[in-house]
Amino acid sequence: MKPRDSSLSRRELLRLGAAAGLGAAGLSFVGCSRESKDQVVVSRPEEFQKLDAADQFNLVNYTLFMHIFDTLVELDADGKIVPSLAESWEVSPDGLAWTFKLRKGVKFHNGDPFTSKSVKFTLERYKDRKLARSTWWTELDKVDTPDDYTAVVRTVKPVGPMLSNLITPTVMYSDKQGEKDGPTFYEKLIGTGPYKFVEWKKSERFVMELNADHWRQPLPKIKRIVYRPIMEDSTRLAALRSGELHMADTIPPDQVKVLQSDDKIQVLRVMAWDQLYLGLKCDQPPFDTVEGRQAINYAIDRKSIVEKIMEGGRPAAAIVPQGVIGYHDGLKPYPYDPDKAKSLLAKAGWKGGSKLKFIAPQGWYPKIKEVTETIASQLQAAGMDTELTVMEGAAFTQARGAGNYNIYITGGASWDPDQMMDQRIRNDVFKSGYKNQKVFDLILEGRTSVDQAKRAEAYKKAQEILYEEGSMVWLFQMEAIYGIRKNLKGFTAYPFKVWDLRKAEIS
């Protein structure tokens, strides 16, 4: 190339550089506050979702809302329902009316009083079927407010899980604020809770500050809570180890050793009410026979998956985990018996030859790839060849919802048996094709009895039948592992994967 007689080139280079530099400098940096005793920074690999408590189902939202809002009742650390904004309650003999006596003198962050009208406003919103949590309230008729501190929730049919449905995320909103601010009133996040909402920078952080006027004494000790979503496991752990976080949620089991060797960090393991299971397509071989379904139960070595891969948790037997109403302690996880599996398969008439479609959601659960690959190899050893596809999440929900599988893997987290059994078994939302009217009736009974003992009995009976012939192969209960810096004391983690900083402090 012939040389050109101009000094443009250097100028251009400088111009390019200057433009880049100006571009970088001209944009404002966001300063972040330094660590202090009054501020706690925590992280989970999940983003805070939409602002409307009635329209989401995300555990981070539940957790943060629990600090900003109050609910009528709460679960304590042992899983028992205890009063919160409702001091006492009773249910009518026909089960159609729940009367709640409300706490007096509670104010919202903007000064609005908490009254029965707030309860009415909050609950009657759920009639809008577009809201994600409206399915818990399909039997709601209306809420009567005989006086300021009594709310009567009326339903068209008895609702067994009523109290379970009233814990988080069913937070109480101010009716006055709702009227004043219109349909997007929830965006202001005004509640009655011990913390006030400060700011939400999407994907970056969610900040809350202590509400000094909270009704519950003693007040929490931590003045400011910052939540930072960090998706990448290694990064989140690094932030914990470097001191940038006080608590990191969802620690992968293999990293536990690394944390334990650090004397400033402790590891908290909580057996969660979250179990992983395989869903079977019951209208196609080999799972269209009871023998086929039992075969796959025997073919899986749950113990070694729990010990070697998950390094925590325990094998599961049925849909209701220990600690939740309806738990059946007589049902034990299927033992690992590949020979029995083979003989059952033979009885089912399965000769092999074709591959079973095994779908899994990518990234939803830790170690999903390892678990499914191991299961696939165990199934193959027992005579069931599978074609494993770890699909992108949305594609997975599509395939699962359409019944486009032989086997799928999914988890289920809940604090009331109705939440999973009604939808996944009685309504068969995943199109497994499993039908057993007796089981359906038992589930319906559980949903419509307000007598909690009766509910428990119904669920236990249902599980006994499902154990023999159900469409779900229960794998194991998962452990939630938290990494906590030792100077954060009083951190509470509930079994339904929500944590609580209201009693915590930095020492």
Partner 1 sequence: MTGTESPGQPKQNVVEKGRTNRRFWRSRRAVFGSLFLLGICLCALFAGTIAPADPIAVSINNRLYAPAGVQGGGRYVLGGDQLGRDVLSRIIHGARISLLVGVSAALLSGTLGVGLGLLAGYYGRTVDEVIMRLADIQLAIPTILLAIALVGVMGPNLRNLILVLGITGWVIYARTIRGVVLSLRETQYVEAANALGAGDRRILWRHVLPNVWTPAVVIGSQQVGFMIILESALSFLGLGVQPPTPTWGAMIADGRGYLATAPHVTTFPGLVLMATVLAINFLGDGLRDILDPRLRL
Partner 2 sequence: MIAYIVKRLLLSVLVLLGVSVVVFSLVHFAPGDPARLLLPDGALDEDVAIVRQALGLDRPLHMQYWVFISRAVQGDLGRSLYYKQPALGVILEHLPATILLTFSALLVSLAVAVPMGIVSAVRRDSPWDYAGMLLATIGQATPVYWLGLMLILFFAVQLRILPSSGRGGIEHLILPSVALGAPLMALVTRLVRSGMLDILGEDYVRTARAKGVAERLIVLRHALRNIMIPLVTIVGLQFGALLGGAVITETVFAWPGVGRLVVDAITARDYPLVQAATLLVAGYFVMINLILDVLYVYLDPRIRYA
Here the tokens at position 82 are: 């205890």
Q: Choose between 21 and 111: whose C-beta lies nearer to partner 2.
A: 21
Please list, residue by residue across 294-305, b when 16 or more beta carbons sit within 10 angstroms of its beta carbon and e when fewer do: bbbbbbbbbeeb
CA-CA-CA-CA torsion sign (69, 75, 78, 83)? positive
Residue 316 neighbours by CB distance under 10 Å: 24
Give the nearest distance from C-beta 395 to partner 1 in angstroms.
Answer: 5
Q: Which of 37, 429, 465, 468 binds partner 2 (CB under 8 A)?
A: 429
CA-CA-CA-CA torsion sign (81, 87, 91, 96)? negative
Q: Choose between 321 and 366: whose C-beta lies nearer to partner 1.
A: 366
Q: Choose between 106 and 388: whose C-beta lies nearer to partner 1.
A: 388
Looking at residue 323, the DSSP 8-state letter turns out to be T
Q: Choose between 1 and 212: whose C-beta lies nearer to partner 1.
A: 1
Angle at 418 between CA 412 and CA 424, to 5 degrees: 55
Q: Choose between 227 and 358: whose C-beta lies nearer to partner 2.
A: 227
Give the nearest distance from C-beta 460 to partner 2 in angstroms.
Answer: 21
Integer Cα distance of 45 and 63 in angstroms = 13
* Residue 47 interacts with partner 2 (CB under 8 A): yes or no: yes
Residue 389 binds which entry of partner 2, partner 1, none, CB below 5-8 Å type-dependent: partner 1
- Hey, what amino acid is at 84? S
Here the tokens at position 160 are: 């067994």
Using CB under 8 A, list all residues that contact partner 1: 1, 233-234, 237, 252, 254-255, 257-258, 304-305, 308-309, 362-363, 369-370, 372-374, 376-377, 388-392, 394-395
Integer Cα distance of 108 and 176 in angstroms = 10
Integer Cα distance of 354 and 385 in angstroms = 7
* Residue 130 interacts with partner 2 (CB under 8 A): yes or no: yes
Q: Choose between 309 and 324: whose C-beta lies nearer to partner 1.
A: 309
Q: Which of 40, 420, 444, 498 binds partner 2 (CB under 8 A)?
A: 420
Here the tokens at position 342 are: 């083979």
Applying CB under 8 A, the site for partner 2 has a residue count of 68
Residue 7 neighbours by CB distance under 10 Å: 8
- Where along the sequence are the contacts to partner 2 (CB under 8 A)? 1, 3-4, 7-10, 12-13, 16-17, 20-21, 23-24, 27-32, 47, 49-52, 55, 57, 129-130, 132-135, 201-205, 228-232, 234-236, 238-239, 241-244, 392-395, 397-399, 401, 410, 420, 423-424, 427, 429-430
